[in-house]
Amino acid sequence: MPTRRRALLILAALAGLSQLSIALALMVGSIPISPLDVLATLVDNGGGVAGEVVRSLRLPRALTGFACGGLLALAGALLQVLLRNPLADPYVLGISGGAGIGALLAIILGLGVAGVNGLAFTGALGAMLLVFGLAHGEGGWTHSRLLLTGVIVAAGCGAVVTLMLAVAPEDRLRGMLFWLMGDLSQTGDPQLVLILLALVLLVSLPFARELNLLARGADVAQALGVAVRPLRRGVYLVASLATAAAVTHAGAIGFIGLIVPHLVRLATGNDQRLLLPASVLAGGSLLVIADTLARTMLAPQQLPVGVLTALIGVPVFLFLLSRGAPCRG
Amino acid sequence: MDHTTPLLTTRGLRVGIADRTFCRDLELRLQAGESLAILGRNGAGKSTLLSVLAGLREAQAGEVLIDGATYARLGARRSARVRGWLPQSRSEAFSSTVLETALVGRHPHLARWDWESEGDARKARQALAAVGLAELAQRDVQTLSGGERQRLAIATLLTQAPRLYLLDEPLAHLDLNHQIATLELFAALGRERQIASVMVLHEPGLAARFCSRALLLFDDGTTQQGSCDEVISTASLSRLYGYPLREVGDGAQRWFMPA
């Protein structure tokens, strides 16, 4: 069990990593900018073209990426506890599927970024309410029932998404595919999503020790003094909203929500008081780094960042699985 | 003794699942220092009754009071400082060490932002020592054997340090040595710390030896309770288990064998 001191040290190290990843994102690109110049453009708003690039292109994109990565990792960590399954990820309950239907519909209809975001969020909420309503039958929900309902709703959404891709006009297909793979190139103001990330973390942290108990089973947690029913609903709601916000801003970026909590758990243990904030920092950093790679590797061609997180995520995950440590179904 | 509040009281309690009733109009009163054995066949509703007594499941009728108050009135946290519950089986989805697992028992004693202190860790280590797991403190729980897991669950309960212990098959998976050690542990807690315990047992001889009272749950939904001397007899047990039993004993201890 980590002590508070050890937890703070680990978090401080991860915060340093986050800053490095954002600094890297600000420096690297079609116009390389030195660290000192980056600092100068941020401090005194100067720097000409370089300053414009940093302030209005790279910084909003990096911050949005960080916030989305953090939200996805946090949602993944929460859902892994809620479903008592280390293999759960934020999309397992169909939220990204719902968002996908909304976003693709908006793209087919030719709506702008605001329309895409609005419909994606509506779709995410719709899927979330549907799963919650269906899983919450008589006698409350068990985690296996919730998981099954989510998986089935996600499969249904996947079918609708495929159908939309099949009937969509050619010129819209590229945008639709990028959205589905996760893409940060269309980001706007990062303020909202950063505030959301802070809010979600602030709401979750006070319940972190209760989540430790919930991970050991609902009855055990209840017997040890956790009000399980409201806690489970709260976790579901918070994780869903976090996922919806991230998916709305950046599309269905995969693997962050699965891999990051897993890696952090392997490195520091399964104490949510440390795991939740550490996942936020690590998830944010990972997505910022992946996005920086996505826009520079084949520049000027931009890759959807979801491809990179998956390319990084799949081998890491297979490696973890083959080590066979804590991944029991 | 009659002036003190009983640690466990039930009034007009009816417990069942769907249209099956396991017991009705059950009136229990358990004082500090007392221990009650619940005996019955498989599926007679022992575990269901115990989880109702633990406040984890709603009764069909009647009420359960711990230390004179309902679970609803106490809330989950304060309830957990009064009663502890040992589940019949548990599974660990995530790995953690034995010591971390025992430490979760401190949860109801810690404020929201508290971290487990050195004092809490000491209590957990004492509890592990009491069940003979001190050497395994840093082992991963997922590598433990069934009996070791059972003893760890008991240690977690000891770390919780409630006054009322509700034990669902505390002897499951334990070898003979640890069965007796476990029962002696709870008997000593009853004598020295005035805890009360309710335990589901399958061995009437051990119930008669270690518990002051017994509750028999018959298949037809009727119950019989009283001191072990009155309730545990060849006649009642033969009816309870639906198989003729024979009593053997040496005057101090009584054992019941299939006839």
Chain A residues with CB inside 8 Å of B90's CB?
216-217, 220
Residue span of the structural domain in which A85 resides: 4-323
Decide if pLDDT at B213 tops 70.
yes
- pLDDT score of B153: 97
Rounding to the nearest 10 degrees, give the CA dihedral for residues A207, A213, A214, A217: -170
Domains of chain B listed by start with CATH number: 8-258 (3.40.50.300)
Nearest to A269 by CA among A325, A310, A318, A217: A325
Q: Is A140 helix (H, G, I), strand (E, B) or coil?
A: coil
Distance (Å) from the alpha carbon of A125 to chain B's nearest alpha carbon? 29
Q: Is B199 helix (H, G, I), strand (E, B) or coil?
A: strand
- B80–A225 C-beta distance less than 8 A: yes
Give the CATH number of the domain where residue A286 resides.
Answer: 1.10.3470.10
Whole-number Å distance between alpha carbons of B85 and A223: 6
Residue linked to tokens 């550490």 = A278
- Strands B254-258 and B20-30, by their bridges, are unpaired
pLDDT tens digits, residue range A54-68? Answer: 888 899 999 999 999
- pLDDT score of B200: 97
Position B48 confidence tier, pLDDT thresholds 50, 70, 90: very high
- pLDDT score of A30: 83
- pLDDT score of B121: 95
Number of structural domains in chain A: 1
Decide if pLDDT at A95 tops 80.
yes
Nearest to A61 by CA among A199, A203, A250: A250
Note whether residue A93 is domain-resident. yes
Position B177 confidence tier, pLDDT thresholds 50, 70, 90: very high
- A223–B56 C-beta distance less than 8 A: yes
Cβ of A272 under 8 Å from any chain B Cβ?
Answer: no
Decide if pLDDT at B155 tops 60.
yes
Per the model's pLDDT, the better-predicted residue between A136 and B60 turns out to be B60
Nearest to B71 by CA among B125, B9, B15: B9
Whole-number Å distance between alpha carbons of A62 and A68: 10
Cβ of A324 under 8 Å from any chain B Cβ?
Answer: no
Whole-number Å distance between alpha carbons of A267 and A286: 16
> If you average pLDDT over residues A305-320, what whole number do you get?
82
- pLDDT score of B3: 58
Note whether residue A328 is domain-resident. no
Instruction: For residue B107, give the nearest of A1, A224, A326 by CB distance.
Output: A224
Q: Tally C-beta pairs within 8 A across A and B.
A: 81
Position A327 confidence tier, pLDDT thresholds 50, 70, 90: very low
- pLDDT score of A318: 80
Position A117 confidence tier, pLDDT thresholds 50, 70, 90: confident
**CA within 13 Å, CB half, A149:** 18
Least confident of A57-71, A171-185, B47-61, B131-145: A171-185
**CA within 13 Å, CB half, A318:** 5
> If you average pLDDT over residues B233-242, what whole number do you get?
94
- pLDDT score of A138: 58
Whole-number Å distance between alpha carbons of A214 and A137: 21
- pLDDT score of A250: 87
Give the pair of three-digit tokens for residue A198: 């802070």
Note whether residue A41 is domain-resident. yes
Instruction: For residue A85, give the nearest of B93, B116, B142 by CB distance.
Output: B93
**Cβ proximity of A111 and A119 under 8 Å:** yes
> If you average pLDDT over residues A110-136, what whole number do you get?
87
DSSP state of A223: H
B210 phi, psi to nearest 5 deg: -110, -15
Neighbours of A1 (CB within 10 A): 22
Helices (H), chain B: 46-53, 71-82, 98-103, 118-130, 146-160, 176-193, 204-210, 228-231, 234-241
> If you average pLDDT over residues A24-29, what whole number do you get?
92
Closest alpha carbon within chain B to A7: B115
Per the model's pLDDT, the better-predicted residue between A132 and B16 turns out to be B16
Note whether residue A281 is domain-resident. yes
Mean pLDDT of chain B: 94
Chain A residues with CB inside 8 Å of B78's CB?
225
Note whether residue A329 is domain-resident. no
Instruction: For residue A216, give the nearest of B92, B97, B115 by CB distance.
Output: B92
- pLDDT score of B1: 45
**Cβ proximity of A251 and A175 under 8 Å:** no
- pLDDT score of A2: 61
Note whether residue A157 is domain-resident. yes
Which residues 116-155 of chain B have a CB within 8 Å of chain A? Answer: 116, 121, 142
- A206–B112 C-beta distance less than 8 A: yes
Q: Is A63 helix (H, G, I), strand (E, B) or coil?
A: helix
| pTM of the complete model | 0.91
> If you average pLDDT over residues B82-96, what whole number do you get?
90
Give CA angle at B153 (B149, B154), nearest 5°. Answer: 120
Decide if pLDDT at A326 tops 50.
no
Instruction: For residue A217, give the nearest of B84, B90, B96 by CB distance.
Output: B90
Determine which of A203, A205, A216, A264 to mutate to test the interface with B (most B C-beta atoms within 10 Å).
A216
- B107–A209 C-beta distance less than 8 A: yes
> If you average pLDDT over residues A215-231, what whole number do you get?
94
Residue linked to tokens 């005996």 = B39
Helices (H), A83-138: 95-108, 113-135
